[in-house]
Structure 1
Amino acid sequence: MARELISMSAARFTMSGMRLAPSSRLYSVWLWRWTNLSDIGGQGNLYSNVRGGPNAAKRMLLDQSMSALSARFDSLRSRGEKALVVFLTAGDQPLDQLPEILGALEEGGADVIEVGIPFSDPFGEGPTIQASSQRALEHGASPAAILKAMSQTHLQVPLVTMGYYNTVLRVGLGRFAEMAHEAGSSGTIVSDLVPDEADAWREASAGQGLDTIFLVAPTSTDRRIEQVSKGSTGFVYIVSRTGVTGAENQVPTDVSDL
């Protein structure tokens, strides 16, 4: 059933161009295909050989001083392959379907899955994700319920929770990090949190073995890009254009300058 709910062709990006297809109203899914992988460290293809679900994989990787995200990107880089990073708004469909949906995304070729935590004021999002977030909130999709549903999955691909700092603060930094870890998340993206204001969050995340991923944009200064590069673990999230998220018919030509 999950495969019927997902439009796997919502949007496919490459650095040389972008092919668009209508996005699914039933479930907001955005697909990014990166043509160049940043040097984020890590060695060996540990993650793909780990069995027993994401938490078991993460524990082994932590013992090896490598995160699941670093291992995944390192493995792809060693094979000369690109990473397909998928985003969805959790709770847009009933949460008891989330494990099946995540499994379908993995089976469909996702290398990393970003699980969006809905927020009432997603100011960085365009109409598609705004609408999916509103539907999810109307369905009663709380952070705790989403993370509990995530914990029922048994995936080999890393999961990343993505949301806004207000949500993290409301739950509590330490508690949110603990819940994300218990749910099998390998890292977090708090899209409105900048590195120089994130010491407490980085400490809470590190205590649970979570990567902290920050954003750079076309308007970022050299100093900000350096801060983000030094402060991020797992990968750096590059915003390819100014404005809110949403479908376009091409990728800006200057995105490679970042």
Structure 2
Amino acid sequence: MKKLVAYITSGYPEKSFSIDLALALHENGVDTLELGIPFSDPVADGPLIEKANQKALALGFKFEHLLEISKVVAPKVDTLWMGYFNSFYQHNMQKLIPAAKELGVNGFIIPDLPYEENHPYNALFRANDLANICFVAPTDSEARIEEIVKNSKKFIYLVAYTGITGSGAAEDLQPILATIKKYTQTPINVGFGVNQKTAKEKVKGADGVIVGSAFVEILLNESLNYNEKIKKCSELAKILKSEINS
């Protein structure tokens, strides 16, 4: 069974909604949840997620809200924190990683922390049995891929193309998938540009997909009330899970 990983923007439009949405997504096929930490300059994310980040911050999102959401969600749903390094660094990684573990969070995704710069934290992640999800891109050399994936844990985040999330660009991933599999048995999940139309193609040869912008687009639809947003996100999750496993 191939896995569905879903990203949502924490605290948007409010904390209680994020909790209800997270639990509903899990009930409708989402295997792993990325709780996105709103940040003012999300450089790897496309315009939809950037807009949701800005709206969440304008509505008063605080890092403490992430902890409160995680306290409810993480014991019930496989949960990762997805955010930019500054968001983590300013809360002291030496304290934050054990705190995440205590809440039941299973790992971090930090897109602007290059592999070469994450070494100071590797021992801390290992000591707390948390994954620091590694990224592999089509532009990486085989030597670099071998280095990145050798100590990978939970899954490898394969960037489907060079660019930002949500743009839907196409790229033949079979060569890089084959290269990664030469050096690790860690599952590979494909992200960037994955939606209802592309999921079936993107998951070929991989173990799952990561979907963010397609869910966030629903959250940004102001014509929908909270219950309608949750219903539409749940329907999308069901469709995606079916598509990647058909």
TM-score relative to the length of structure 1: 0.64
Deviations, residues 168-203 of structure 1 (Å, cap 9, x unaligned): 111111122123223321111111112221122222
- Alignment partner, residue 226 of structure 1: 146
| C-alpha separation in 2, matches of 1:215 and 1:154 | 23
Name which of 102, 113, 131 aligns with 2:22.
102
Which of residues 162, 173, 183 in structure 1 aligns to 2:82?
162
Show the counterpart of 2:209.
none
Shift of 1:155: 4.9
CA contact (8 A) 1:218 1:241 kept: yes
Q: What does residue 132 of structure 1 align with? A: 52
* Runs of at least 5 residues in structure 2 that lack an aligned partner in the other structure: 177-246
Select which of 110, 122, 131 maps to 1:190: 110
CA distance change for structure 1 residues 203 and 154 in 2, over 3 Å: closer, same or farther?
closer
1:7 corresponds to which residue?
A: none
**What percentage of residue pairs aligned between the two structures are identical?**
33
Please name the residue that 1:257 is paired with.
175
Q: Name the CA distance, whole Å, in 2 between partners of 1:154 and 1:245.
A: 25
Aligned residues: 176
Contact 2:35 2:80 survives alignment (8 Å): yes
* 1:90 and 1:118 in contact (8 A); partners too: yes
Measured in 2, the distance between the counterparts of 1:185 and 1:95 equals 17
**Structure number having the greater helix percentage:** 2
Work out the CA distance in 2 between the residues paired with 1:193 and 1:231.
Answer: 16
How far the C-alpha of 1:234 sits from its partner, in A, is 0.7
Q: Which amino acid aligns with 2:161?
A: R
1:191–1:215 Cα contact (<8 Å) kept: yes
- Aligned partner of 1:203 in structure 2 is 123
Partner deviation per Cα, 1:151-182 (whole Å, 9 max, x = no partner): 02265431111111111111111122123223
Q: Is 1:143–2:63 an aligned residue pair?
A: yes
Q: Secondary structure at the match of 1:181?
A: helix
**Matches of 2:62 and 2:77, distance apart in 1:** 23
Map 1:72-87 → 2, pairs under 5 A: 81-87=1-7
Give ranges in structure 1 of 5+ residues lacking alignment: 1-80
TM-score w.r.t. structure 2 length? 0.67
> Could you tell me how far 1:120 is from its partner in structure 2?
1.0
Question: Contact conserved, 2:74 with 2:105, CA < 8 A, in 1?
Answer: no
